[in-house]
Amino acid sequence: MLLGDGTANSPGGIGSLAITNSGLVATNWSLIGAFPGGNGSALVDGAGSALTTSDGVSATVDGTAGNLALAVGVATTGSLTISNGGTVTVLNGTGTVGLGVNSISVGSFSFTGPGVGTLNIGGSATGSSAVGGILNAAAVWTGNGSGTVQFNTNATATTPYYFTQNGTSRGTGVVITGPTQVTNTAGFKFSSVPTATLARPRSKAARWRTEPPMRFR
């Protein structure tokens, strides 16, 4: 799936997708905001609503070859919002979400441009807070562009939000890796040790580490 494909029109394509009311979109792979001149946004909102990528495509992303299943902001601007219990599943929980990719090569096609990718959990940075959604993926990674994981949930001390693959305190934590920026617009805070620890990466190759999973309140 290509959403907001900059090659579709001149000067570019703008695309949006809203998955609501228990809707389901299943794809082999997805690029949300793809190629220079494009702009893409996707919303997965509500319990039962789901976006699933099941296969991936062989690609070289910012100089690294691998299997690309879901990326947001590929040589352009893109955003993905997961809210109110909506679910995004990447390779049955084993895949990685890419944010802010500056260059991509797939087969005979190659594109380069400034990539800006945002993953919103709950509401957008400029919108109202909302119940967070579930990202069933192993990791979130930022390439050579700009990537942000933005939390705007209505989490509280008594009803925290867990950034895990199933949204519960016992779920496997989603790793945030690379130069990914983490913001919380709603003003909640990371819980303190021993509930969770959050290790800031010292280099691009390092990872955010949560032991046990991150909790926000």
What does the pLDDT look like over 34-47, one tens digit per residue?
888 889 999 999 99
What's the CA gap between 137 and 204, in Å, rounded? 20
SS (H, E, C) 37-76: CCEEEEEEECCCCEEEECCCEEEEECCEEEEECEEEEECC
pLDDT the model gives residue 15: 87
Is 121 a residue whose pLDDT tops 70?
yes
pLDDT the model gives residue 190: 52
Model's pTM, two decimal places?
A: 0.86
DSSP 3-state of 185: coil
What does the pLDDT look like over 185-194, one tens digit per residue?
776 655 433 3
Q: What are phi and psi of 169, to 5 degrees?
A: -65, -20
What does the pLDDT look like over 129-141, one tens digit per residue?
999 999 999 999 9
What's the CA gap between 89 and 92, in Å, rounded? 6
What does the pLDDT look like over 147-172, one tens digit per residue?
999 999 988 878 888 889 999 888 88
Closest CA to 88 of 121, 61, 124, 123: 121
In which domain, by residue range, is 56 found?
2-216
Is 206 a residue whose pLDDT tops 80?
no
Query: In total, how many domains does the chain have?
Result: 1
pLDDT the model gives residue 202: 38
- Give the mean pLDDT of the chain: 84
pLDDT the model gives residue 8: 52
